[in-house]
Structure 1
Amino acid sequence: MRVVVGFFAAVLAAYLVGCLAVSQGNIAAVTAMGFEITLGQRWQTWLHDLTHMVNIYLPLIAIAYLIALPVTAGIIRLTAAQRWVGYVAGGFVALIAIHVTIKLVLGMSGVAPTRTLVGLVMQGVAGAVGGYCYYKVTSFKAVG
């Protein structure tokens, strides 16, 4: 049960941070054109992205984690790596892989900020946050 809860926590965390990175990446492009954006507008943009990317981006993250988390678990077992390092790295790679795969298969970026290295890395950071959440939820300590 802990693995299932960890999976959903990871997907949700990556989605929240990933949407924030998309919103702020798009806003950075707007401000680069000389427009001023208030903190309230940034907040509204993030909320808009959260509610409007759920049908496409959230399932992509879930699919990426369905692949990445078991692969990461296998690598951790084979290498005796620290679990937290493995899941953070696995989450990072999973979200980068989404965007690179979309670019290679469709010839376009699914979300505009991933056209830049910073935007792509920020999606990786979102994946790393999700991976860390998975690690925390699935870790347990013996009591006593």
Structure 2
Amino acid sequence: MANRWRPLVAYVAAVLDATLLGSIVQTQFNLAALTALGVEISWATRLSTTARDLVGFTPLYGSLVTIMMLGAMPAATLVTRRLGGGAWPIHALAAAVGLWVTLWIVDTLAPMPTLIAATRSGEGTLAMMATAALGGWGYAILVHSRWDGVSA
């Protein structure tokens, strides 16, 4: 891949990764909350609900992730350059913290207590942050590896 396109391709991949995984995670946390209330949910319902959320929730969540990654990935790249290495943990951490800050801002501004129900618990918030971290990790691998068998 040409070096000039690498950051853009990595950015798009990171946003898609974090958005799709985050959407799936939030759906499963919501279904788990219903199950805890005694609602029986079949695998077919889980799959169809997940598919519906990928269509319905992903655009909203993707817009949040897109904006967050616009700040987090360049900031992580600057830190990586300053420290001289360790790209993937820095990018993963930047994406996770960036998502946490984004969710905090959105929840502060939203009329409801939380915009994303999965983030009502610490576990749900950490799971959503983990999906963002995976996106940041992927970004670092795509941008900072030399493609000669050496990873970031």
1:80 to 57, 77, 84: 84
CA deviation after TM superposition for structure 1 residue 90, in Å: 1.2
CA deviation after TM superposition for structure 1 residue 64, in Å: 0.3
Could you report, residue by residue, the CA deviation over 1:41-82 in whole angstroms, capped at 9, with x for unpaired residues? 211111111100233111110000001001111111222340
2:146 to 116, 140, 144: 140
Task: For 1:113-132, list aligned pairs within 5 A.
Answer: 113-132=118-137
CA deviation after TM superposition for structure 1 residue 127, in Å: 0.4
- 2:59 counterpart of 1:55: yes
Could you report, residue by residue, the CA deviation over 1:91-130 in whole angstroms, capped at 9, with x for unpaired residues? 1112212211112233631111101111111110010110
Query: Which sections of structure 2, spanning at least 5 residues, go unmatched?
Result: none
Task: For 1:1-144, list aligned pairs within 5 A.
Answer: 1-106=5-110, 108-138=113-143, 139-142=145-148
Query: Which sections of structure 1, spanning at least 5 residues, go unmatched?
Result: none
Deviates more, 1:77-86 or 1:98-107: 98-107
Q: Figure out how many residues of one structure are paired with residues of the other and give that number.
A: 143
CA deviation after TM superposition for structure 1 residue 7, in Å: 0.2
- In the alignment, is the contact (CA less than 8 A) between 1:91 and 1:127 conserved in 2? yes
Q: What amino acid does structure 2 have at the position aligned with 1:86?
A: I
TM-score scaled by structure 1? 0.92
Percent sequence identity over aligned pairs: 29
TM-score scaled by structure 2? 0.87
Q: What amino acid does structure 1 have at the position aligned with 2:83?
A: T
